Structure 1
Amino acid sequence: MAFTMKMCFSLVFLICLLNTGAGFGAEQFDYVIANGTIHDGTGKVIERGYVAVRDGKIHSAGPGEGPACEYRIDATGLVICPGFIDLHTHSDRGIVDPKSRGAVNYLLQGCTTSVTGNCGMGPIDVQKFYDNVDKAGAGTNVAHLLPQGELRSHVIGKVNRKATPAELQKMQRLTSQAMKEGAWGMSTGLIYTPSTYADTEELTALAKVIGDAGGIYASHIRGEEEGLVGSIQEAIRIGEDASIPVHISHLKVKGTPNWGTLRLAITLIREARDKGQRVTADQYPYIAASTSLAATIFPPWSMSGGVDQLVKRLDEPEVGAKIRAAVEKSLDIKEDGKQIVIAQYSPRPEWVGKNLREIAKAEQKTALQIAEEIMRSGGAQIVNFAMNEEEVRNAMTNPWVATASDGGVMIPDATRPHPRNYGAFPRKIGHYAIREQVIPLEQAIRSATGLPADILGLTDRGYLKPGQAADIVVFDPQTIIDTATFENPHQYADGMRYVFVNGVAAVYEGTPTGALAGRALRKKSAP
């Protein structure tokens, strides 16, 4: 019987029969996916198996053809695995926007759950955010972290100073409330304002509240260039003192002079884990980063109070000279701005896709002057080609490193964003695991399924086992690959045949259905 799109949207429950016989009393199933290679999220592989789904949950999974059922998906030659869990997205706005909440760029990567609130950015009213997700549904499930930067801004502002005891107590109360409303932990963005203005003591005090409620501390650490090792040490120390699991966001080292030091960071994490501390990381599999121009080349102290205050400082002779010297030094390390490509800048859209050095040459100015002009106009999003390919490969070989996009829900437009928004997961699986064989396929799949579920504390998804939510991906191992490039990033990935979110087909025979079956995932706070 053909599975029509109407059935896909309404999820009509079909009456299925067990292998053991037909008739009254036979079990009912929504569908059975059979004859595929099962990767269950643990790293275990079943060469020919099935998954049976009933009432939006996995009823059973294992070897063989499975129970009889009127609606069966033949997955011969395909891989069946849990839906991918992206621990690090910036989908906070897009996932509740009517234009983009379908999250097609993620569904076609196989992602069924997106973690928001990363890098200290996003809504701090967790209940309101979750309610907005559930009001109209979303393409993926959503789990939220309390963003420390926004929390600090709400209580203190974007100023560079120490929190008063009263302000710290207020942040702790709001942190406790966020956990009661279902947050999964707290994130920091310690290169961004005002997150960067919090010292270790302040971060530890907030992390203790999170840890007591059973959450995690996810950190975009204070430095990913020459300060990498000290920043990893700070995160580990916060985890020790606050008795909380530590998660390092987008593990990497940036800047040609710093290449080779990622191994030191990995060694620190391994040593902490060997001592029994819970320390993990995630990674996007690319040699370029992407963030704001301000966070990339301007010193954090210069951004206190926001862009308007930066402009005022630039106009002060002594302070302005100090800022320009720091920026020029940063640009020198980045080949006079060649490594920095404009991704989004509305005042001069013709600059999008070009690097600072070539823009400066065309405008007959210096890269420093172009950077200052951009900041005086409000800033820009950039792509920074700053990482080493061998270190990217080395990071993914560690069994405690999950895959994460560091991207966001988006639809094609005139911007030139990082291709990770469209291709991070298929790139890790299709390029690095299957084609390059940097890691085994089962490890690549675990890094997107069971591992992130364990890191976050999700207990009802991430594995193909009875009782888990039916977040399921079926992909073709021969064709799965990212097609998005830095030159042409708005390209959907290939290879996803079926994606189910809470039992509903969100991708059917390679085509998005428009289903909004994702929901807010609220963590039950520890007593």
Structure 2
Amino acid sequence: MKIARRSRYIGPLLLVLSIVISAKAKDDLVLTGATIYDGSGSSPVVGFVAVDNGKITAVGDGQPPEATWTIDAQGLIVCPGFIDLHTHSDSGVVSSTRRACVNYLMQGCTTSVTGNCGGGKRLVGRFYDEIDEVGAGTNVAHLIPQGTLRRYVVGNEDREATKEELQQMRDMVQQAMKDGAWGMSTGLIYSPGIFTPTEELIDLAKLVSLQDGIYASHIRNEEAELLPAIEEAIRIGKESGCPVHISHIKSAGTSNWGSAHLAIRTIEEARTQNQRVTADQYPYTALSTSLTPILFPGWARSGGRSKLADRLDDPELAAKIRAEVTKKLADISDGERIFIVRCSSYPKYAGQNLKHIAEAEGSTSLAIAEKIVRGSGASIVSFAMSEDDVRQIMKRPWVATASDASTRLPSASRPHPRGFGTFPRKLGYYALREEVIPLEHAIRSATGLPADIIGFSDRGYLKPGMAADIVVFDPDKLIDKATFDEPNHYSEGIQYVFVNGKVAVSERVPTGALAGKALRKRQKEETQMTPTK
């Protein structure tokens, strides 16, 4: 009797179980008929990519598995989500208005690396926690900003750190690595990075090396002293044990055009000696930064803006400063190649070059530059690189693609267009239209290569078990639309973007999903981090 009663429930129970098992047997998503580039630089294959629970479950050319959502990707390219090794999105990814990172998602970016050029968030653990409170549009990995640490401990002074100050910075580096930083960055044209001795950088980088972190550097000079600056970075890597990464590699200044091959040779010589040296690049002939470090010598900037103003009021020091600034202006057509992006003291200057402003005011480019730095300073765009050098650099297999921009919304300002167009420009313009590099090379420069450089083991490639960071684009339509005159335009051709398996762009429209998370580097358990003596 009891058996009979129980049997009444067995049939319905088995039916429910079969439904559950059947449902679990389906993947969340399958992209079918796609042209697949897996991030390795290999030739593409036509097939499917299956995703379930935020992970890639299968990649193949046979019969695709069943899925809850099937997207016909015939005629479209599917590849890993792009990894931007060089952003300044530290504030943006925790901003209530900009953390969705739409300008990056519309380029196909799924991961942003922050803390670059030695600047950014100092407290790594707290920063990661802020990101994970509600998520972000992209994943975020952070580098220790050496300049921020030094400013906190030493200030903006041109002097060596004391033993006590150096130990304090060591402790901060150790804690940051424990909290999941992926390495340390420097900005050696900016204060206070410019005042940091090489030996101090080696000392701190040794602690980074203990956790297999990288040393990423905006090197001391990207103009006439480019080669010594690269050699310094290589030395820091060699003596500390860190892999070296040169940020936004370039040869700037008209007198230095054509020198990119020398920088390439220097790096490749180090690589032949089994040293890990890589670089990244944004595919434009213009750079963007602040006016002061571009024109005014480092020694004159010690102590900050007020001290610079004091030195400009000193006849002897002012003459020395002006001589150096005049020399730099001569290398950029007397300021004709420098355009003001933003200047709070003189808003009307926005969109104009220094030479034009000077002519309009019956002044000189030197006087206008001095006037600006005595005020608020200014953000600038400088057309300082040659197209041929840009093309030569991007052909190297160790050069990743990176924007050197930040998460932003379209506005009335006129920033560098790289914040809206870097990746589609590299793939759509240089690879597909100009055929400067093969498409598989361009895709690898934005996926597998940056993953290898920073040390990701779970993303950057389309392989089973990897995080489902995926971009789907139309090769016939992929192109950047942002220009220097109209920089606030989203790129075209990105059809879908998935971040950790969740759709962030669907049929060319951002969904508003905050599927990105903080990517914390795992600490090596067997390594005991001890301060360098």
| 1:408 aligns with one of 406, 409, 415 | 406
| 1:115 aligns with one of 113, 126, 132 | 113
Tell me the residue number matched to 2:454: 456
| 1:216 aligns with one of 204, 214, 223 | 214
Partners of 1:82 and 1:283 in 2: how far apart? 19
Deviates more, 1:303-312 or 1:65-74: 65-74
Q: CA deviation at 1:48?
A: 1.4
| 1:34 aligns with one of 18, 23, 32 | 32
| 1:364 aligns with one of 348, 362, 365 | 362
Q: 1:25 to 1:346 in 2, by over 3 A?
A: closer
Query: Does the residue aligned with 1:505 lie in a helix, a strand or coil?
Result: strand
Tell me the residue number matched to 1:8: none
Amino acid at match of 1:280: T
RMSD, matched Cα: 1.3
Q: CA deviation at 1:25?
A: 7.7
2:177 is equivalent to residue 176 of structure 1: no
Tell me the residue number matched to 1:267: 265
Tell me the residue number matched to 1:354: 352
CA contact (8 A) 1:160 1:301 kept: yes
Query: Does the residue aligned with 1:188 lie in a helix, a strand or coil?
Result: strand
2:68 is equivalent to residue 73 of structure 1: no
Amino acid at match of 2:130: N
CA contact (8 A) 2:286 2:385 kept: yes
Tell me the residue number matched to 2:281: 283
Please, which runs of 5 or more residues in structure 2 have no aligned partner? 1-18, 528-533
Tell me the residue number matched to 1:4: none
Q: 1:345 to 1:65 in 2, by over 3 A?
A: farther
After superposition, the C-alpha distances for 1:324-363 in whole angstroms (9 at most, x for unaligned) are 2211111111111001000111222221111000011111
Partners of 2:130 and 2:380 in 1: how far apart? 30
Tell me the residue number matched to 1:12: none
- The 5-angstrom pairing of residues 12-91 of structure 1 reads 24=22, 27-91=25-89
2:328 is equivalent to residue 326 of structure 1: no
Tell me the residue number matched to 1:297: 295
| 1:245 aligns with one of 236, 243, 246 | 243
Tell me the residue number matched to 2:4: none
2:471 is equivalent to residue 473 of structure 1: yes
Tell me the residue number matched to 2:420: 422
Tell me the residue number matched to 2:483: 485
Determine what percentage of the aligned residue pairs are the same residue.
58
Q: 1:181 to 1:299 in 2, by over 3 A?
A: same
Q: CA deviation at 1:470?
A: 0.6
Partners of 1:62 and 1:193 in 2: how far apart? 51
Partners of 1:240 and 1:180 in 2: how far apart? 23
Tell me the residue number matched to 2:3: none
CA contact (8 A) 2:26 2:68 kept: no
Amino acid at match of 1:215: G
- The 5-angstrom pairing of residues 158-169 of structure 1 reads 158-169=156-167
Q: CA deviation at 1:319?
A: 1.3
Q: CA deviation at 1:173?
A: 1.0
Q: CA deviation at 1:225?
A: 0.2
Q: CA deviation at 1:23?
A: 7.7
Q: 1:30 to 1:319 in 2, by over 3 A?
A: same
After superposition, the C-alpha distances for 1:265-306 in whole angstroms (9 at most, x for unaligned) are 110111111111100000000000000001110001111111
Displacement over 3 Å in runs of 4+ = 21-26
After superposition, the C-alpha distances for 1:74-120 in whole angstroms (9 at most, x for unaligned) are 10100000000000000011111111111110000000000000000
TM-score by structure 1 length? 0.95
Deviates more, 1:48-57 or 1:345-354: 345-354
Query: Does the residue aligned with 1:523 lie in a helix, a strand or coil?
Result: coil
Query: Does the residue aligned with 2:27 lie in a helix, a strand or coil?
Result: coil
Tell me the residue number matched to 1:205: 203
Partners of 2:247 and 2:22 in 1: how far apart? 53
After superposition, the C-alpha distances for 1:378-426 in whole angstroms (9 at most, x for unaligned) are 2000001000101100001000000000011111122111010100000
Query: Does the residue aligned with 2:137 lie in a helix, a strand or coil?
Result: coil
CA contact (8 A) 1:127 1:181 kept: yes
Tell me the residue number matched to 2:434: 436
Between structure 1 and structure 2, the one with the greater Rg is 2
Partners of 2:425 and 2:127 in 1: how far apart? 31
Query: Does the residue aligned with 1:373 lie in a helix, a strand or coil?
Result: helix
CA contact (8 A) 2:259 2:389 kept: no
Amino acid at match of 1:153: R
Partners of 2:24 and 2:179 in 1: how far apart? 41
The count of aligned residue pairs is 507
- The 5-angstrom pairing of residues 93-132 of structure 1 reads 93-132=91-130
Q: 1:96 to 1:70 in 2, by over 3 A?
A: closer
Please, which runs of 5 or more residues in structure 1 have no aligned partner? 1-20
Tell me the residue number matched to 1:9: none
Partners of 2:73 and 2:116 in 1: how far apart? 35
After superposition, the C-alpha distances for 1:237-290 in whole angstroms (9 at most, x for unaligned) are 111101110000011110011112211111011111111110000000000000
Partners of 2:291 and 2:21 in 1: how far apart? 66
Partners of 2:21 and 2:163 in 1: how far apart? 70
Partners of 1:350 and 1:163 in 2: how far apart? 41
Q: CA deviation at 1:62?
A: 1.8
Partners of 2:432 and 2:484 in 1: how far apart? 22
CA contact (8 A) 2:27 2:66 kept: no
Query: Does the residue aligned with 1:407 lie in a helix, a strand or coil?
Result: coil
